[in-house]
Every structure is written in structure tokens, then in C-alpha cells.
Structure 1
């Protein structure tokens, strides 16, 4: 089972939406977190070490991830989705964008 982590800044809109969408797949174990200290679920070294595949929403989050948790990345692949913070939780446009962009990287 592939372990997938979705990361945005505050873990309130984009990454929780992605977690909810992809948690329905039986071949994936999913989680989400945020890079900011005030995130609902803050990113930790344990989460980073757990993941096989990490999707970040913006380049800034990839930079924070690599700077703060680089030694825990191991062989995890980090993919930037380039999805700006312009969507509400479970916004149909966000759901469609996530399915299209993430789907390319999942079997």
C-alpha cells in the first residue's frame, strides 16, 4: 500500500480536500499536514518519514519541507502541484484539479 502525504500551508483547505478525496482508494494510505506553525495538523518529521509520495501545493511548501525535514525524506518523491490558495474546502473546481493533477502520479 502506497503512503501519500498532502501538504499545504495551514492544512485547512487544499490538503484536507486532497486527503478526503484520495482516502477512498483502497490501495492508498493518505494523510495531510501544513507547513505553518498554526496549521490544523502541523507537518512533522514522523509524517515525512512515513510517506512514500508527498504532494505539496506550492513551491514555497516544497522549499520549507526540504529545508526543515530534508533528512527525513529518504526515498519519498516530492511533487509540486502548483495549486494556489484560491479554493474553499471541497470546492468542486479544487476537487477536479486535484483529481487531474494527482491522478497522473498514482496507478
Structure 2
């Protein structure tokens, strides 16, 4: 991330009703981040699109299958090293306190680590 703009993060789950909107709500005011959320299902509240992935610096996927969906359906839109898999199953309601605690614990540390790793490799740093 450059000092000229915020890190753009899209949170991805299946229906965009519970997990990714929770993450978006939690991190909406995180300093230095712009966030959005989307789902991989056709009938998701906000379907994940090529445009949204092109906007994002990083895609935070709730499960491996969401990353795999991006790889197969929107191939080449975002590099693999810009996709983070959290491993959070679809077992939570919107703003479930356990989900909020899990996201709050996992996301900032993992994103900071990912951004640090990416920016150390100039060939993949593209405006991060």
C-alpha cells in the first residue's frame, strides 16, 4: 500500500448475507482500508464481479472454495498471492459475536503479513 491511497479489500463468501457483510461492517472504519463484500453465488446480495476484483488490492475469502471459484470463473483478475483464505465455515449469523471476534483476531494480522510479503517483491507490489 502506498501512502497515497488506502488498501482496498473485498471480503468474499457465498451468499454475501452473513460472513462477508459482517467483515465489511467490522472493518468499514479501519484506518487505511477501503472495504467491500460480495458473494460467489448467482443470487448473492452483491455478486462478485471482475470489476470488483479489479478494484481490490486483496480478496479475503472465507473458505478455500471461494478462492477456487475466483480462480476458475474470474481467472487472472487477482493474483493468488493477493487472495487470503480465512477458513471460516458458514456457521454464523450476521454480526454473531463469535464471528466478530474471529474476524477481528484473524484479518488485521494476516492482511498486514500479506501486504508486507507482497511489497517486498517489487514485481508483485503493483500500487500496494
Q: TM class, shorter-chain normalised?
A: over 0.9
Gaps of 5+ in 2: 1-5, 113-128
Q: TM-score, normalised by structure 1?
A: 0.94
- Mean alpha-carbon deviation: is it higher for 52-61 or for 71-80? 71-80
> Equivalents in 1 of 2:106, 2:58: separation in Å?
14
CA deviation map 1:44-82 (0-9, x unaligned):
000011111110001111100111112211586101000
State the match for 2:27 in structure 1.
22
Q: TM-score, normalised by structure 2?
A: 0.79
- Mean alpha-carbon deviation: is it higher for 21-30 or for 39-48? 21-30
State the match for 2:53 in structure 1.
48
Structure of larger gyration radius: 2
State the match for 2:63 in structure 1.
58
Structure 1 vs Structure 2 CA RMSD? 1.3
More strand by share: 1
Count of paired positions: 107
